[in-house]
Amino acid sequence: MKVLIDQEKCVGSGQCVLASPDVFDQRDEDGIVILLTDNPSVELHEEVREAARICPALAIVLEES
């Protein structure tokens, strides 16, 4: 799985961080998403999928392999 984020779309809701804190974080100054790893381990795939599903701005794109 490859994770891509669009910081321009991000509204800073933080739902991705709550769903998958090992993969996503937020900038302190404005809450915009930061990608900690673009290739998460298999153990994290389901929570990353959940983060993408619940993102209100659809700022997370997953490329499944």
> How confident is residue 65, by pLDDT bands cut at 50, 70 and 90?
confident
Identify the CATH class of 2-63: alpha beta
Residue 42 CA to residue 14 CA, distance in Å, equals: 22
Using CA atoms, how far apart are residues 57 and 25, in angstroms rounded to an integer?
Answer: 16
| Percentage with pLDDT > 90 across the chain | 98
Q: What is the pLDDT of residues 14-38, one digit of tens each?
A: 999 999 999 999 999 999 999 999 9
Q: Residue 49's Cα: distance from chain center in Å?
A: 9
Q: Are the C-beta atoms of 20 and 51 separated by less than 8 Å? A: yes
pTM score, whole prediction:
0.95
Domain ranges in the chain are 2-63
